[in-house]
Amino acid sequence: MNENERLKEKLDLLSALKEDEESLKSEKKERKDSKKKEVQKKEQKKSKGSKEKIKAGQQKPRTLLTVISFIALVSSLSFLIYTIVKSTDQVNQPYLIITSTCLLLISSFMVLTGFTTNQKIQKKLELFGIVLITLYTGFQFLVTSNILTLPTLKTVGDFSNVSINEVVKWANKNKITLEQTYEYSDSIESDHIISQSIPANTLVKEIKSLEVVVSNGPNYESIVSIPNMIGWNIDDVVLKIKELKLNHVNIEYQFNETIEKDIAFEQSKSGEVRRNEEINITFSLGNEADLKPVSLKDLNNLEEFDAILWLKRNGIKYEIAYEFSNDIKAGNVISTTPDSGTLINQKETTVKIIISKGPKIIAPDLMKMSLDEITEWAIKNKLVIIYESEYNSEIKAGGIIRISVKEGDTLEENARINIITSKGTLKMISIADGDITALRNFANENKLTLSEESEFSETVEKGKFISISKKPGEEINPGDEFKVVISLGASIELPNFIGMSANKAQTTCKNLGINCKLSYVYSSKTKGNVFNQSMGAGSKVIGDTTIVLTISNGPRPSGGSSSGNQSGGNSGSSNVPEPVCESYTLHLIAGQSVSQTKTMIQNANPKGKFNFISFNPGGYGTNGALRGDMFTTYQNTVHTSCETITIYIVDLNV
């Protein structure tokens, strides 16, 4: 093989080796690319699985959140509706409604968050929900710590010990009818409230009227026990006087050489006495020789009692005058003559002391002012307004009918002004069928004349009203007369008992529902039979009426007494015959005077026997009225003509 051939062979070998190397590189690259693709596929598959897992994991909590949020939404909505309905009776209604509304908003955002799939919107809703919860928590903190005060519904205040003027002002402002009753009180200041008919914190919208009991101050007619204070010091006596609220005690000073100064040595009364009885207590001024001139104390603004007591304790003669003052409280000292600090020689000087009557108050024309304006004027001038009301068809409800003071009258502090306002037109009230007591009370309270009649009725139950001449709501004027007809129930017609045997008569009475009283009398009539009845056949009566049936006991036995009533038919035993007593139903009627009431009752009960007694119930009431228990005790009750019934009639002149 020549040299060229060997060279060619080498070149071919090198070329083959190069191809093999290129082939190996290509295979290696393919394997590398294949592995890379496999890795990418695995990663893609892994990523897809991870996303599916995440997606599956998110779906479950979102569904649970939605269900819980929906339950919260329904609950909060129900709570809001309940609050709106029920909070009308709650003082803190605005707070309850705001609270329930906030809960509804929070639960609504929770529901929206659960239904939203967009992550961005979901995050915004969640953030807004957190803000709402934060605001709600802050709102609760502000309210409970009283930093934030929400409006509340108007309620009735606690008026205990509050001036009546303030209560009148409140009542006028809230359009509440105020009714005042005055009572004595040792603990509550005069013209201040003792009690109220409506409890404090009651919603104003639930009431139309309010009754208050106003203090009239201490009852100076009441009896207290005063100890024997001889030997007491003046200061201790004064304390006891104020404690017992005595208002007519005269304290005097006299020289006494044997008793220490300011010690009581005479007392006119002790023990059980009235507060307003005059009581004189004398204290020792000591030895006259020991009385020295004294510098006049500053008595200005002291109460009259205390100022005069100081003068007496120092043996100083005095004179009193009363003047109006805009600066000094009524009852206190305005000034003295001479001035305080002046050396007083008790034998030569008399001190003049001026007591304030308070400011001079000139009444304006109150009839031209509204109730609110009058109340404000009274409060400003420390006057007391007493409101009363009565029906008046000419003046609308709430309008002023009359006032106890007129324009130009001079008044002093604490003076009382009576104002009569209109209740509007009086209208007939609705009365429960048969409630005669309510009807009588209505008539008495409004000065109406009530005429009562009774009739039998086959359709109206006994004691119920057959008719009333005035219908509910019908206008009626004070002084008018109206009539009521009361049912006696179904009538029972009495049969003719004459000739019946005693047994048959009793059975008949029982069947009819009446009471029969048997009276046995000797008679020539058939023995054992009825020969007289207290009420004639055909008479109409009500159930339980009592009639007397006279039964023959046969002829009188020979040798017996001339007359008699024999019970049980025992031969030879005679008694005085019982009187025949007619039964009747009592009807009571009150007139306009004592004589009229007597006549009306007697006419309504011709079979009745009455003992009329006039009485005065203490200056109150109406002439001709019956004592309160008369109607409830006797009206429509059954009696006999043998009874005497005592009737008490009001007579303010006795």
pLDDT at 576: 40
Q: What is the pLDDT of residues 416-443, one digit of tens each?
A: 899 998 888 888 888 888 888 888 888 8
* pLDDT tens digits along 291-336: 999 999 999 999 999 999 999 999 999 999 999 999 999 999 999 9
Domain ranges of the chain: 55-153, 164-215, 365-422, 436-490+585-650, 496-577
Q: Decide which of 596 and 577 is more confident.
A: 596
Contact 385, 366 (CB under 8 A): no
What average pLDDT score do residues 82-92 get? 67
pLDDT tens digits for range 270-299 = 999 999 999 999 999 999 888 999 999 999
Query: CATH assignment of 436-490+585-650, given 3.30.10.20, 3.40.50.150, 3.90.870.30, 2.40.50.140?
Result: 3.30.10.20
Indicate the Cα dihedral angle 361, 363, 364, 369, nearest 10°.
110
Q: Given this structure, which CATH class describes domain 496-577?
A: alpha beta
Q: Shortest CA distance to 536 belongs to which of 548, 524, 551?
A: 548
The Cα 474–Cα 428 span in angstroms is: 5
Q: How far apart are alpha carbons 494 and 539 in whole angstroms?
A: 5
User: What is the mean pLDDT of the segment spanning 239-244?
Assistant: 92
Q: Taking 60 as the threshold, does the pLDDT of residue 566 lie above it? A: no
The alpha-helical segments, DSSP class H, found in 116-244 are 119-144, 164-173, 234-244
Name which of 536, 537, 508, 506 is nearest 519 in CA terms. Answer: 506
- Arithmetic mean of pLDDT, 390-410: 89
Rounded distance, CA 343 to CA 297, Å? 10
What is residue 182's predicted lDDT score, i.e. its pLDDT?
85
Residue 409 has pLDDT above 90, yes or no: yes
Does residue 559 carry a pLDDT above 60? no
- 45 has pLDDT over 70: no
Phi, psi of 104 (to 5 degrees): -65, -40
Amino acid at position 25, single letter: K
For residue 1, the SS3 value is: coil
User: What local confidence, expressed as pLDDT, does residue 286 receive?
Assistant: 92
Q: Residues 422, 470: contact at Cβ < 8 Å?
A: no
The b-or-e profile of 40-66 (16+ CB within 10 A means b, else e) is eeeeeeeeeeeeeeeeeeeeeebeeeb
Residues of the chain with pLDDT > 90: what percent? 27
Asked if the model's pLDDT at residue 89 lies above 70, the reply is no
pTM for the full model? Answer: 0.49
What is the rounded average pLDDT of the residues 542-546?
Answer: 80
CATH architecture of the region 164-215 = 2-Layer Sandwich (3.30)
User: Is residue 39 predicted with pLDDT exceeding 70?
Assistant: no
**Once rounded to an integer, what is the mean pLDDT over residues 437-462?**
84
Q: pLDDT higher for 286 or 111?
A: 286
Q: For residues 110 and 74, what is the distance between their CA atoms, to the nearest angstrom?
A: 12
**pLDDT band at residue 609 using 50, 70 and 90 as cut-offs:** confident
Q: What is the pLDDT of residue 579?
A: 53
Q: Which residue has the higher pLDDT, 358 or 563?
A: 358
Taking residues 605-626, report their average pLDDT.
Answer: 81
Using pLDDT thresholds of 50, 70 and 90, give the confidence band for residue 65.
low
Query: What is the predicted pLDDT for the residue at 488?
Result: 82
Q: What is the pLDDT of residue 363?
A: 93
The arithmetic mean of pLDDT across residues 579-602, rounded, is 81
Least confident of 85-89, 174-178, 277-281: 85-89
The answer to whether 164-215 and 496-577 have equal CATH topology is: yes
Quote the pLDDT of residue 567: 43
Q: Supply the DSSP string of 157-185, one letter for each residue.
A: ---TT-BHHHHHHHHHHTT-EEEEEEE--
How many Å apart are CA 213 and CA 194, to the nearest integer? 5
Question: pLDDT band at 205, cuts 50/70/90?
Answer: confident
Look at residues 162, 199, 148, 198 and name the one whose alpha carbon lies nearest to residue 177.
Answer: 198
The per-residue pLDDT for 563 is 41
pLDDT of residue 193: 93
Per-residue pLDDT, 542: 80
CATH architecture of 365-422: 2-Layer Sandwich (3.30)
**pLDDT reported for residue 575:** 42
- pLDDT tens readout for residues 568-586: 433 333 344 445 667 788 8
- Taking a C-beta distance cutoff of 8 angstroms, is the pair 178, 193 a contact? no
Lowest mean pLDDT among 155-169, 223-237, 434-448, 551-565: 551-565
- Highest-scoring range by mean pLDDT, 158-162, 517-521, 581-585: 158-162
User: Higher pLDDT residue, 402 or 578?
Assistant: 402
